[in-house]
Amino acid sequence: MIMARLHQLYSIDPEWTEKHLLPLLTPTESKEAQDLWSGFAWSPTVGPNLLSAFKEIYLDAIATYKGPEHRERNLVNLFISICLDAPNQLTAHEIRRTVNSLPEEGLEASLRALARRLTGNPCERAEVWELKIRPWLEAYWPKAAVRNTSTTANAMLGLLVECGDAFPNAVTWSESYLQPIDGLGLYGLKKSDHVAHHPEAVFQVLKRVVQEQSIKSWEKGTLREILDALKGADPALGPDPAFQDMYRIATS
C-alpha cells in the first residue's frame, strides 16, 4: 500500500523516501523488491524528480519483473509514457537498453501502449503517428528477426489499424517486422476503414501476416471477408497470384 503511493510520498518528503523506501526496490538489497514493484505497479505514477531518484532501478525492474502480468504491463505503459511525453528524461542509450532487455510480453505491451496513444479523427491519429510514434519506433524498435514474433506481429497489426490516415506509411515501416500471425489480429483490420480506403496497403499487410500453417480454421472466415472487401475496393487485386493463393487459404 505504501509503494502504491510512492509518487505522493516522494513529493511530500523526498529525503525520507530516498532513505527508507527506494533502497528496498533494489533486488540485491531487498528480498521484498519484486513485491514492492508489484505494489508500485498497481497504479504507477512518476514525476521528473522521482524518476531521477530511482531511474536505474526502475529501468532494471521493467526487464526483470516477475509479478502479475497486468502489473508488468503497467510498468511498461509508464515507460512508454515517459518516452513520448518526457523524452528528455531518458537518454537514447537508456531507452535502447531497456527495449532490448524486454521479454516478448514486454514488447507486446509496448506496442499496445503505443496504440492507445492514437486517438481522435484519422487526421489527428496520423499526426501523432508521424510526430511521436514513428520516430520512436524507428529509433528503438528491435531489428533482430528473433525479437519479432507472431505475438509482437499481432500487437503491431493492432497498432497499424489505429494509425488513421497514416496507415499506408505505417505499413511501409512495419514490413520489416511483421510475421505470420494466428489470425486473431485480422478482426480489427476487418472492422477498420482501411480495407475500403487503403486496399493496396491492407494487401501488403496480409502478404506478411497470412500463412496457411498459422491461420486457425475459425479465423478463415474473417480473412475471406477482408479479401472480398478488398476485391470490391480494388478489382485489380483479384487476378494477383498472391491474392488468389490467400483466397484459397481462406476458403479451404
Residues 6+ apart with CB under 8 A from 244: 238
Residue 140: predicted pLDDT: 97
Burial of 1 (0-12, 13-18, 19+ CB in 10 A): exposed
Residue 8: predicted pLDDT: 93
Q: Report in angstroms the alpha-carbon separations of 237 from 157, 168, 225, 227, 229.
A: 21, 17, 14, 9, 11
Residue 67: predicted pLDDT: 66
Cell of residue 7, nine digits? 509518487
How many whole angstroms separate alpha carbon 156 and alpha carbon 35? 31
Q: How far apart are the first and last CA of the chain?
A: 54
Residue 156: predicted pLDDT: 97
How many whole angstroms separate alpha carbon 103 and alpha carbon 106? 5
Backbone phi and psi for residue 250, each to the nearest 5 degrees, phi listed first? -70, -25
Per-residue pLDDT of 141-172, as tens digits, reads 999 999 999 999 999 999 999 999 999 999 99
Backbone phi and psi for residue 231, each to the nearest 5 degrees, phi listed first? -65, -35
Residue 61: predicted pLDDT: 85
44 contacts 74 by C-beta, under 8 angstroms: yes
Residue 239: predicted pLDDT: 94
Residue with cell 523506501: 21
Which of the residues in the chain have pLDDT under 50?
none
Residue 127: predicted pLDDT: 98
Residue 115: predicted pLDDT: 97
